[in-house]
Amino acid sequence: MATVTVTYYLEVISSWCHWAEPAWADLKTRYAGRVQFEWKIALMNPGDFPVSRTQCEWFYRRSGTIMRSPYMLNPGWFEPERNGVYEAPSLVAEAGRDFGFSDDRLRLALSGAANREGRKIGAMAESVAVAAATTGLNPAELRSRAESGEVRERVDASTAEFHSHQITQRPAFVVTDVIGDKAVFSGLVRAEPVAAAIEAMLADSAAYATHAAHFGPPPEA
């Protein structure tokens, strides 16, 4: 059983979550079989989104140069009439869990459709079309699930859980272990600091297990 868990809080359409995906993939490969990895939706507030396509392009140029990216993200997904409400892709990604897609495939397809292709996945129909093409799922069944109260409750709960860590930036990585330690990384997109926390927690958890094997539980008095 894994003694360390890494929880990745994300907004599907977030550009910084897009930039964090290589780090997430690296960590999952590096610690496969030793660490439990899970992702959870943390919806952004409407005010967190760009207010114009021009502003979105400015943000993309900034993040793209910071990440030394050979490509610029595509702002074509932006729709001013939505007033910062882009919940559809996150709801569809969460709904995918109920059809066996709890891994990264579906949400990465949605993220790529927005951030690389500029598709307007703020519309539920477009998000469902992207997801169905990727997974082969029935579009009507997927949409029904994405619009269900149960999926909405799960997304609201995971978003509240994100805020309970007293953080505001996505991506966020929360690393915990079986002995009660917790490390929170909010807004970082590189693997190295998270890996350092994982290494420390693996070592400490192993040390506690060794001690328990030699001395058992602590005395009651």
What pLDDT digit, counting tens, does each position of 97-145 carry? 999 999 999 999 999 999 999 999 999 999 999 999 999 999 999 999 9
Burial class (CB in 10 A: 0-12, 13-18, 19+), 168: middle
Domain residue ranges of the chain, discontinuous segments joined by +: 4-215
| pLDDT of amino acid 221 | 77
Residue among 87, 101, 85, 95 at smallest CA distance from 154: 95
The pLDDT tens digits for 44-65 are 999 999 999 999 999 999 999 9
pLDDT score of 101: 97
The CATH architecture annotation of domain 4-215 reads 3-Layer(aba) Sandwich (3.40)
Tokens representing 26?
Answer: 């690296």
Return d(Cα 13, Cα 74) in angstroms, integer: 11
* 219: its two tokens: 């005395």
DSSP, res 44: P
- Residue with structure tokens 């495939």? 105
Decide if 197 contacts 177 (C-beta within 8 A): no
Q: How confident is the model at residue 204 (pLDDT cuts 50, 70, 90)?
A: very high
182-186 and 35-41: which strand pairing?
unpaired
- Please classify residue 4 by burial: count the beta carbons closer than 10 Å to its beta carbon, then call 0-12 exposed, 13-18 middle and 19+ buried: buried
Q: Is the pLDDT of residue 81 over 90?
A: yes
Nearest Cα neighbor of 8 from 81, 104, 77, 131 is 104
